[in-house]
Amino acid sequence: MQNYKIFVFLRFKLKNMLQKLKQFKEKHPFTSLMLIAIFVRIIAIIFVPGFGSHGELQHPTLFIGFLDKMKSWLDIGQTQGMMLLSRSLYAIVSLFTVSMIYRICDLSSNNKQSAWLLALIPIFSCIMPSFGVIENASAFLGLPLLLYGANVILRQEVLRKNNLIDNVHRTSFFIAGIIVGLGICVWYESVFVVFSILVILILIRNYKGALMTFIGMLASIAAIWLLLMLLNVDPLKYITL
């Protein structure tokens, strides 16, 4: 009899806790999503040795040129502490990816519940670069930049579609271009996605937005190229797909 009362009590407490969690999730969808993502990544940092491994960072891009230069200057080796730091930075990058996916889905569907469910996928898949989602760490690091730029462009288009012209800023497209240009420097294959975005802007007759995005993209790529040359790094060494 005593055990039954304990069982009923625990069942009531569990049901009450789940109800509170559901209410919190409905009231704060983004916060609840990020808390789940943070929990998963803390587990990965501590218990998954291969998480954030630099072994997949050998895809030659302009970004890798910076890494090579910084490693030579700081004399960084593959110590246990550096690997832990690597996994932590990896986790932070993937958190930003989850955030951007949620915001893009929310803007596209105007349905926070659907956006929350869709963002659950990268919560788990983005901690595993080789899990059939992205090919290598260059893609893993370039994806957040691409998503952020796409988010800025999509937000401006939503404002324009809703006739909130006063809130549409051409400089936002330029900034988005700079961000996606940096994404190309990290992940060359993303250039096809970026040009797809430009084509879409042209098709919906947002010619100024497409032009500003393109100029921003070229400006950021040129800036990275010149910076590498100032660091005595040959950019052509890192131009391979």
Average pLDDT of the residues in 71-75: 60
Burial class (CB in 10 A: 0-12, 13-18, 19+), 215: middle
**How many residues does the structure list for the chain?**
241
Residue pair 101/147 in contact by the 8 Å Cβ criterion: yes
> What end-to-end distance do the CA atoms of the chain give, in Å?
70
pLDDT band with cut points at 50, 70 and 90 for residue 241: very low
Q: Which comes out higher in pLDDT, residue 143 or 10?
A: 143
Least confident of 113-117, 148-152, 216-220: 113-117
pLDDT at 176 exceeding the cut of 90: yes
Dihedrals φ, ψ of 112, to 5°? -65, -30
Longest dimension (CA), the chain: 79
- What per-residue confidence (pLDDT) applies to 130? 42
Buried b vs exposed e over 175-209: b needs ≥16 C-beta within 10 Å? Answer: bbbbbbbbbbbbbbebbebbeebbeebeeeebeeb
Average pLDDT of the residues in 66-82: 59
**Who's near 213: CB < 8 A, 6+ residues apart?**
149, 153, 173, 174, 176, 177, 180, 197, 198, 201
pLDDT at 227 exceeding the cut of 60: yes
Least confident of 14-28, 30-44, 161-175, 186-200: 161-175
Tokens standing for 201? 């802007």
pLDDT at 57 exceeding the cut of 50: no
Query: For the chain, how big is the Rg over CA atoms in Å?
Result: 22
Query: Residue 186 to residues 46, 63, 131, 191: CA-CA distances in angstroms?
Result: 27, 5, 20, 10
**Who's near 100: CB < 8 A, 6+ residues apart?**
144, 147, 148, 150, 151
pLDDT band with cut points at 50, 70 and 90 for residue 235: low
> In the Cβ-directed half-sphere of 40, how many Cα atoms lie within 13 Å?
21
